Amino acid sequence: MEKYVCKVCGYVYDPAEGDTNAHIEPGLPFATLPEDWHCPQCNAPRSEFELENGPMPGMVAPIGQ
Ligand SMILES: [Zn+2]
């Protein structure tokens, strides 16, 4: 599932782990989190999170060929 990154502090919400401190059970996608959920590290609102979409290792095409 897709991970989301807090743009304020860099915290990563991993759906596989959930957020047990906020009673978010593992397996819940970011999109299903409550509207009032916030970053467990810096209290940033959901709107401060963005999809983690860095390139996957081994999937970067060679350049110049
Ligand atoms: Zn944060």
Instruction: Express each pLDDT in 24-45 by its tens digit.
Output: 999 999 999 999 999 999 999 9
Give residue 65's pLDDT band: very low, low, confident or very high (50, 70, 90): low
pTM of the full structure: 0.78
Joined together, the tokens standing for residue 48 give 């401060």
Residues 6 or more apart in contact with residue 2 via CB below 8 angstroms: 15, 29, 30, 51, 52
Please give the pLDDT value at position 31.
95
Ramachandran angles phi, psi of 30, nearest 5°: -55, -40
CA distance 8 to 41: 10
Cα–ligand 1 centroid distance for 45 (angstroms): 8
| For ion ligand 1, residues whose CB falls within 5 Å | 6, 8-9, 11, 39, 41-42, 44
Length, in residues, of the chain: 65
